[in-house]
Amino acid sequence: MAADREAIRAKNDVVSVIGEYIRLKKAGRVYKALCPFHEEKTASFHVDPTFQSWKCFGCGLGGDVFDFIERMENLSFVEAAEKLARRVGLDFERKGKQGATSERDQIAQVNQVAARLFREFLAECEVAKQYLTTRCISLDSQEKFQIGYSPDSWTALAGALRRKGISDTVAVSAGLIRKNRNGELSDVFHHRLMFPIIDAQDRIVGFGGRALGDEPPKYLNSSQTALFDKGKTLYGLSQSRKSIAKTDCALLMEGYIDVVAAHQAGFTHAVAGLGTALTPEHGALLARYCNQVVACYDGDEAGRKAAVRAAEILTGAGLEVKIARIQAGEDPDSLLRDGKSEAFQSAIRNAVDLTTFQIENLISSSDLSQESGKETFFRRALPMVARLSSAIERERFVGMLAPYHPRYSSGITVAEAQIRADIEERRSQHAGAKRREWKSPQSAQNSISAKSARSADNRDLRTTAKIMSAAERAERELIRALISTEWRHFVLEQVNEEDFRTPAFRRLHNVIRNAVEFDASVEVLDVIGKLDDAEFSSNIRITLQEILEQAGNMPLMQASILDCRDRIRRQHREELRRRVAELVRRQPVLTVEESEIVREYHRLSSELKDTDGDRTDIGGR
């Protein structure tokens, strides 16, 4: 029997599901994190295990576990429900037109089949197995990373996929086969060691192939598909995300084999880019799981340059980045393969910040025995230090640079004073350039455009988190009391359905009242979960989460509950008074509907008479 929405929700705890995508921290009764849907530096994304909901108080987005998967994975509701059902082993049945498998699903399925075929091809190829043995990749690691082999044939995979009933069209869309120069279909990967690229949701989204022969390039990745974008994917993330979250640190490496070797040696928080420059999306992806990254790149010049570029990108994503100093001629894989795991561990432990790494490399590559060499060195080093915002950090580098200054022979104090002066001069020049830029016509136009964009964003935020009136706050306080086991019956006795001005609250009051009449001890979440209206159920969960978080630990009291009720009634009475006065002034004879408004006004006035101690004249007649 196929699972329904509530069965899927009940099995997929919202904290557990969201925790597979981003790093959550317990904060009182909720969990907090940086929002994955907008850039921020302060955690405003809250996950509430009580109401099984999530809400970002920064961008205003929120929902239940289905909404999160829909947004995070860019899926339809049906696709999200199926994914969550499969996650917990529930049967899922698509009905009607929605039953058609999406292109992304088809690619994921064919990639899974291809990975199994590559594993089978590996078992039959002694050359590929010997290469893995040479690189000291164990059978356990081969299994863990599903390493395979693409045969020395241009049609092996294409033919195998056809025999599995997979159409050429789907295989082409997955980037596994393509048309050759003669218009014939052939395999994309040929005589290569195959590394499945698995995303954080454990889907094989693409492949990386390492050439075993002379065919260029040495490394070849799947082309971009509806499921795969190498600029947004990291190799090894599926296998390492739990360790990364646990250690609050990721090891960023250059290649697939580096990652496999690191995991094999116990460094299970290692990931790698996919052969291209790191992107801001890579940084944002890592920031979901940790605050710190150590870049462990090859010790050659190309590796050092790549490490610097990566560190700059990751720093821009708000991560704390350090770079491991790998000796020239070494790389992480060679260190680990040669049994030098202690040396590798030491490199990680003694990793340095970006500026230190750059200046150390500059020192080692400069001719500091000559005055011209020193001048070139400082011309390149000073901008690196001047860009630092921390005065303490700049001062640390003043001491580091002083022994190489041309005036060091006159004393360290003289050298340091000159370096400080040069740094401050560069910072002043930079600040002046920025001020001139702000005054340029183009910059002014850009500033106006940016301001307009921010205003639009703020309008959206004001819509989401508007300043509430006293009556609106009172209404939410009554809802807080209504969902409280201690005060629920008192609210139902003292507060009418009509007292709620918000239709959703009025409906919730009615739903709870009916449920309590049937079962006095019923849980609010159970009531909400059984509603037929899924949209209402999801929205009310978010609202209840907001109400509880905004109230904090403020206690509920009988007097405050009654005061909230009367405050709402007074505002409603005032609104009615204005409408009645307008009706009386506008026409002498009232319709049935308008007469009902007058009666409602008098009813409210009578109910509030004892509380207010007065009666308000509507005037006019």
Domains and their CATH numbers in the chain: 5-99 (3.90.580.10), 101-228 (3.90.980.10), 357-439 (no CATH), 471-556 (no CATH)
| Pair 205, 105: CB distance under 8 Å | no
Query: Residues with Cβ < 8 Å from 580, sequence gap 6 or more?
Result: 597, 598, 601, 618
The pLDDT of residue 592: 60
Per-state percent for the chain, helix, strand, coil, to nearest 5: 60, 10, 30
What string of DSSP letters covers 436-462? HHHHSHHHHHHHHHHHHHHHHHHHHHH
Tokens of residue 423, six digits: 């740094």
| Pair 401, 385: CB distance under 8 Å | yes
The pLDDT of residue 593: 67
Q: In whole angstroms, how far apart are CA 318 and each of 192, 287, 406, 410?
A: 37, 8, 37, 41
Q: d(Cα 349, Cα 344) in Å, to the nearest integer? A: 9
The pLDDT of residue 163: 95
Q: Which residues pair with 194 in a beta bridge?
A: 148, 209
| Pair 96, 84: CB distance under 8 Å | no
Nearest 5 degrees, angle CA 178-CA 184-CA 188? 25
Q: Tell me: cis bond preceding 217? Omega within 30 of 0 counts.
A: yes
pTM of the model: 0.64
The pLDDT of residue 431: 65
Q: Which residues does the chain have with pLDDT short of 70?
A: 1-3, 74, 94-101, 430-467, 518-522, 529-530, 532, 576, 580, 583-621
| Pair 142, 132: CB distance under 8 Å | yes
The pLDDT of residue 324: 95
Q: d(Cα 225, Cα 113) in Å, to the nearest integer? A: 17
**Within 13 A of 297's CA, how many CA atoms are on the CB side?**
22
The pLDDT of residue 322: 96
The pLDDT of residue 353: 94
The pLDDT of residue 160: 95
